[in-house]
Amino acid sequence: MENKSPQNKAPIYEALKWYKNQRIVPFDVPGHKQGRGNKQLKEFLGEDCLSVDVNSMKPLDNLCHPTSVIKEAEELAAEAFGADSAFFMVNGTTSAVQAMIMSVCKEGDKIIMPRNVHRSAINSLILIGANPIYINPGIHKRLGISLGMSLKDIEEAIKEHPDAKAVFVNNPTYYGICSDLREIVKLAHSHGMYVLVDEAHGTHFYFDKRLPVSAMEAGADMAAVSIHKTGGSLTQSSMLLMKNEKINPHYVRTIINLTQTTSGSYLLLSSLDIARRNLALHGEEIFEEVVSIAEYARSEINKIGGYYAFSKEIVNGDNVFDFDITKLTVNTLDVGLAGIEAYDILRDDYGIQIELGDIGNILSIISVGDTRYNIERLVSALSEIKRIHTKDKKGIFDHEYINPIVKKSPKEAFYAEKESILISESEGRITGEFVMCYPPGIPILAPGELITKEAIECILASKEKGSLITGPEDMDINEIQVLK
């Protein structure tokens, strides 16, 4: 973009710089008073950081009711992402996902969604009492990962539940797999349903035409976008994007304010403002390099043998309609290692921290901050791991997604009378809590679902291999809360 474009402005960042230069004496919160009250914190984070960790005030606007610099920053973000409205979120994409669902659904309403959603989506159903109409994503047999949503399955769900309020789509999935979003939008809109997109891993789709279509370009009504994941803002900062045609943005702000903090962090807000400016002005060349690095890494890893770093060859025009080539997922099963084992070895023996290891794969996020030198380190580490650790893959549990059998609504199960029993003895009972590996935070079991033998095997196999399992009240993951 040319420099005269308003996209080279960063209103929140500029207002904070002005505030800093005013040398204002603070008799407001936060109590550390620009770091003077917490010297250790100031030494750790730096005076520059703490001097702009400030409270909402007239010159700096208010996130709950923006009228000046935050309003202007959100308008610039909407323009940059092709949306009608954008909301800066400081409670993570979790709160953006929940705001989307809570803006279009109420108690008793139905919402069509894939079962491999992030827990934040199911949590919102617990909060408002909406009922999920789950679509089971396909499983890629070779890779053991869950795929996107098939148009045929959505058509069937709409036919069976014509009163559903919305279709919720993960696009892309954690592994970079995309559904046919344009056709899903046409289908849902033709039946009077909203389309909500969990686009946590899709910031870069807005800035590179070689990547899959973005939610706003596909015509979705709302999208939750984790700018911090691949766009360069601080952890926990996110955006909620929307088209105003079918949904009132002022109502959405009211919904956001039900759960979002009234003390929005200016560190997070300014990071969104600066990241948006950087992406709007330089996104094309940034992601051109990201794509190039990811493709190089894939090619080098596949040359090692044993590993399989997949790409667009898995596209099938249906539940793998497109693939995000910036995602570097490597299947490790033919080396005889579970993904989580390779994940631990990379960190403990090679000082390389990747995003996740599941049963069969490791996932590296390639983004604005990666270099070719770091890719070389990853490739050489994987080569050495293969040489040292190759073993027979017999006995490795080869997939993670479990087809759910829903017996109660998430809200009903979550608030029901429960008792704690051993996971190993829970087959046939109805779970009252989540069980999931984190990351990615996709439940193996969610409240209201029947506990099957397959689910128990998956939990125990994941635990044995060293996955971080979250959800149950029992921190040792031996027991599970079930309905009485």
Residue 140: predicted pLDDT: 85
Q: Would you say residue 432 lies in a domain?
A: yes
Q: How many domains does the chain have?
A: 2
User: Residue 478: pLDDT band by 50, 70, 90 thresholds?
Assistant: very high
Average pLDDT value for residue range 225-235: 95
Residue 1: predicted pLDDT: 40
Q: Would you say residue 161 lies in a domain?
A: no
Residue 462: predicted pLDDT: 82
Q: Tell me the H-state helices in 105-196.
A: 119-128, 151-160, 181-190
Do residues 437 and 367 both lie within one domain? no
Average pLDDT value for residue range 21-47: 88
The secondary structure of residue 129, as a DSSP letter, is T
| Segment 388-440, tens digit of pLDDT | 998 876 555 555 567 788 999 999 999 999 999 999 999 999 999 999 887 77
241, pLDDT greater than 80: yes
141, pLDDT greater than 70: yes
Measured CA to CA, the distance from residue 127 to residue 122 in angstroms comes to 9
| Segment 372-383, tens digit of pLDDT | 999 999 999 999
CATH number reported for the structural domain that contains residue 423 in this entry: 3.90.105.10
The beta strands (E) that lie in 136-293 are given as 139-140, 145-146, 166-170, 177-178, 194-198, 222-225, 238-242
Q: Would you say residue 1 lies in a domain?
A: no
DSSP string, 55-88: --BGGGB-TTS--SHHHHHHHHHHHHTT-SEEEE
Q: Would you say residue 114 lies in a domain?
A: no
65, pLDDT greater than 50: yes
4, pLDDT greater than 60: no
Mean pLDDT is lowest, of 142-146, 163-167, 413-417, 421-425, for 142-146
Residue 440: predicted pLDDT: 74
Residue 397: predicted pLDDT: 57
pTM, two decimals, is: 0.92
Residue 228: predicted pLDDT: 95
Mean pLDDT is lowest, of 1-5, 134-138, 361-365, 383-387, for 1-5
Element containing residue 300 per DSSP (H, E): helix 266-304
Residue 52: predicted pLDDT: 92
Identify residue 88 by its one-letter amino acid code.
Answer: F
Do residues 288 and 357 both lie within one domain? yes
| Segment 297-353, tens digit of pLDDT | 999 999 999 999 999 999 999 999 999 999 999 999 999 998 999 999 999 999 999
3-state SS, residue 374: helix
Q: Where among 389, 423, 447 does a domain terminate?
A: 389
Q: Which domain holds residue 428?
A: 410-483
pLDDT greater at residue 72 or residue 359? 72
CATH number reported for the structural domain that contains residue 295 in this entry: 3.90.1150.10
Residue 367: predicted pLDDT: 87
Mean pLDDT of the chain: 92
User: Residue 3: pLDDT band by 50, 70, 90 thresholds?
Assistant: very low
Q: Where among 356, 389, 422 does a domain terminate?
A: 389
User: Residue 26: pLDDT band by 50, 70, 90 thresholds?
Assistant: confident
Q: Tell me the H-state helices in 161-265.
A: 181-190, 215-218, 227-230, 249-259
pLDDT greater at residue 91 or residue 463? 91
Average pLDDT value for residue range 454-458: 90
Do residues 363 and 454 both lie within one domain? no
